[in-house]
Structure 1
């Protein structure tokens, strides 16, 4: 996988040898490690400064703040996939951790293959669930590339999204598609994620132009009474949507 597309992972583990073993296993599996943290303060700083795509957090950390409380605060900064590392099998601890909505659990000691599988499971689970109200979605999303891995997509480079049954079609800019799929013929990326769930990961610059289409206002080139033009794409505009759309755009009005 291209290093610019690799999943960047934060490891929160206060046992140095275990942290190094996890890092080696992640790098061997093709993932990137943005940083390792052994305490609360370091983990918070990394989340703010380096903005990881996924966090591996040991439930048992030294000090007054454990991994469960830390994870809640990490996700207040940015809602990302979370995998708990634990050697603890107490039902009370499990139930408390479960309330924080982790995307996977990994029991120690673990095998490198199991680590990679849990990351795949975490990514699948993350995009199938809704982001809780008030949480900040990531700037990048990871989508299945059809070749056995996930690829990074910057949401600002999404031109539009179409609903297709229980799937979603992601239409990217030419530049973004060429970056992540070099040498491939440009086509929409089909995601096995419901349309409504995809919309939760998009910013305020996206507008739902119909029941089954959402557009990025950044790429609107022309608006007519019944259609929108975005680069080389044309989207039909339902009755009643024209005025609403214009209110979302910086329109300089003049006499006709």
Structure 2
């Protein structure tokens, strides 16, 4: 069963209520959590103020009210620093140039289906993680939605599980284990399996918290509850420490 705390949390800003509800339903059907729906920039800002755990915002460029979606995006960039994508059916050159100025992480062209919504969400998350933006509303970027994506955003990893992303706070990750051509990420409640090498995921982790202890293991130092000989104890697991890493590893633990 999925840990609901790990669901990626989204805000939908769209002033056509039927369309907004349709988008929300598509996202929820694909295991994303919709925190709220807003039909104006002002309402969206209120939701963002009340929910500091929102991971991403889907924004219609044309909104009723004092501010349009582009001005809302500018505020998100300034204060919240989370990824966002634009929803649009058309845009003249002036609107498009304004939209580019706030560096959206993806565009979703109306009309769209459920698969297109999910791909756009994943692309926006990937672009934000890579500190990239989508500069062309019709741009086709190289992106396979079901490949081995490991995204580092703020203090979490976004990991793929059953064809959708889950947000896993770094503090919840216990250790990583390499097994042949696969790598498993063990958390306090789950396991994520990737068909990539351990090095690829290790690159996304902060070195002050995670360290290599063996050719086949990377551990969260803060998750170590004890040790004996060349073994670390983490959540009922015994993790071996190789001779090559022993000196660097055990200097983190003081003995009396």
Q: Above 0.5 in TM-score? A: yes
1:241 equivalent in alignment to 2:240: no
Q: Number of matched residues?
A: 229
**Matched residue of 1:73: which SS?**
helix
Q: TM-score, normalised to structure 2's length?
A: 0.65
Counterpart Cα distance in 2 of 1:110 and 1:2: 27
Q: Which residue does 1:122 correspond to in 2? A: 124
Counterpart Cα distance in 2 of 1:68 and 1:211: 48
Unmatched tracts of structure 2, length 5 or more: 134-151
- The CA deviation at 1:137 is 4.1
Q: Which residue does 2:220 correspond to in 1? A: 216
Per-residue deviation, residues 21-80 of structure 1 (Å, max 9, x unmatched): 322333344433110122333323322432223211112233453323322432455444
Counterpart Cα distance in 1 of 2:226 and 2:81: 34
Distance 1:3 1:230, change over 3 A: closer
Counterpart Cα distance in 1 of 2:81 and 2:18: 28
- The CA deviation at 1:207 is 3.8
Q: Which residue does 2:174 correspond to in 1? A: 159
Counterpart Cα distance in 2 of 1:235 and 1:130: 35
Distance 1:16 1:170, change over 3 A: same
Matches within 5 A, 1:90-105: 90-105=92-107
Matches within 5 A, 1:111-150: 111-127=113-129, 129-130=130-131, 137-145=153-161, 147-150=162-165
**CA contact 1:205–1:218 (8 Å) conserved in 2:** no
Unmatched tracts of structure 1, length 5 or more: 178-186
Counterpart Cα distance in 1 of 2:165 and 2:59: 21
Q: Which residue does 1:107 correspond to in 2? A: 109
**CA contact 1:47–1:77 (8 Å) conserved in 2:** no
State the superposition RMSD in angstroms: 4.2
Q: Which residue does 1:65 correspond to in 2? A: 67
**Matched residue of 1:198: which SS?**
coil
Matches within 5 A, 1:225-236: 229-231=232-234, 232=237, 233-236=239-242
Give the one of 202, 209, 212 matched to 1:206: 209
Q: Which residue does 1:14 correspond to in 2? A: 15
Distance 1:218 1:85, change over 3 A: same
Counterpart Cα distance in 1 of 2:67 and 2:196: 37
Q: Which residue does 2:185 correspond to in 1? A: 170
Q: TM-score, normalised to structure 1's length?
A: 0.65
